[in-house]
């Protein structure tokens, strides 16, 4: 005789899931619905698409979008290259792997705000450590403004992000390398494959899912970068480091235009989804003869 299992949503199970449902509704569903409502509401409270139509002629938003894309692609390429190189290097060591892994993770353990404040002091043209060290080496630092220069500000922000978040990609890629079974590598060596051939034909294909996950996580985080830029440059000088997230913040909390800020947020969300989808398509393995 089989016993009937109680239904999860029965009278006895419903009180247990109600708190989780209430938290989900309060922190996720309701803010999303409210943001949609605000983005589609005009000054008089009428339904309108004016906030979204305004984006087409907003040059500041377009420039912020381009700079966000440049920052995302540049930081992603550098962080992935360094993270993969460090993962391969540490994985090839015969000893002290744990020591080096722990040491490389230190920048990632710092809160982004703390890291940005530290680097702001380092980048200071007058008494910063960076220019002071270069002066001790005999270099002229009069033109090295770092975060204060029109051309160097965005590069300085990218440098800080690379320093802090390369360990994240290193951690994921190092875990992926450790999960690769040794049999394919040993078989390739027996067949006479060199180190580069093993890396290209064995390691990279087996590491592809981890690479995709690492790139997607970092790309989505880079697209909405805010705290580091807010502390380092506040979008300046001028709009040299203005990103979409920072522009949304200014629009909402400095100019109190929450409807337009909400519209920009949804456009940024859609752009992030498209970017992530394109990245996933690029990283998808291609099978010969299959469309």
Domain count, the chain: 1
- Give the span between the Cα atoms of 41 and 49, in whole angstroms: 8
The pLDDT value recorded for residue 279 is: 83
* Residue 251 belongs to a domain: yes
pLDDT reading at 41 higher than 60? yes
- CATH code for position 124: 1.10.3720.10
**Single pTM value for the model:** 0.87
Distance of CA 143 to the CA centre of its chain: 31
Q: Is the residue at 34 inside a domain?
A: no
More confident residue, 248 or 285: 248
In a domain, 28, yes or no: no
Q: Evaluate whether residue 30 is within a structural domain.
A: no
Choose among 274, 245, 269: nearest CA to 67: 245
Q: Is 31 part of a structural domain of the chain?
A: no
**pLDDT 10s digits, 159-188:** 999 999 999 999 999 999 999 998 988 998
137 domain-assigned: yes
Answer whether residue 21 is part of any domain.
no
Domain that holds residue 53: 48-283
């Amino acid at each position: 005789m089989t016993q009937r299992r109680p239904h999860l949503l029965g009278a006895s199970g419903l009180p247990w899931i109600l708190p989780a449902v209430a938290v989900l509704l309060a922190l996720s569903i309701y803010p999303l619905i409210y943001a949609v409502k605000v983005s589609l509401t005009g000054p008089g409270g009428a339904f309108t698409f004016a906030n979204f139509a305004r984006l087409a002629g907003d040059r500041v938003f377009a420039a912020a979008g381009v700079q966000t894309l440049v920052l995302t692609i540049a930081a992603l390429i550098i962080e992935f290259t360094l993270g993969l190189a460090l993962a391969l290097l540490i994985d090839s060591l015969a000893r002290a792997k744990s020591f080096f892994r722990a040491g490389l993770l230190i920048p990632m353990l710092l809160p982004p705000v703390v890291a940005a404040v530290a680097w702001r002091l380092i980048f200071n043209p007058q008494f910063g450590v960076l220019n002071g060290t270069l002066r001790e080496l005999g270099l002229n630092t009069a033109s090295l403004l770092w975060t204060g220069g029109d051309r160097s500000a965005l590069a300085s922000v990218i440098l800080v992000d690379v320093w802090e978040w390369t360990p994240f990609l290193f951690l994921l890629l190092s875990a992926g390398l450790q999960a690769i079974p040794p049999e394919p590598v040993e078989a390739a060596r027996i067949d006479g494959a060199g180190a580069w051939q093993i890396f290209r034909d064995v390691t990279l294909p087996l590491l592809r899912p981890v690479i995709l996950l690492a790139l997607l996580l970092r790309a989505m985080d880079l697209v909405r970068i805010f705290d580091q830029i807010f502390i380092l440059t506040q979008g300046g000088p001028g709009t040299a480091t203005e990103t979409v997230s920072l522009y949304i913040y200014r629009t909402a909390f400095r100019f109190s235009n929450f409807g337009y800020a909400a519209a920009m947020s949804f456009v940024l969300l859609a752009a992030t989804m498209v970017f992530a989808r394109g990245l996933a398509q690029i990283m998808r393995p291609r099978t010969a003869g299959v469309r």
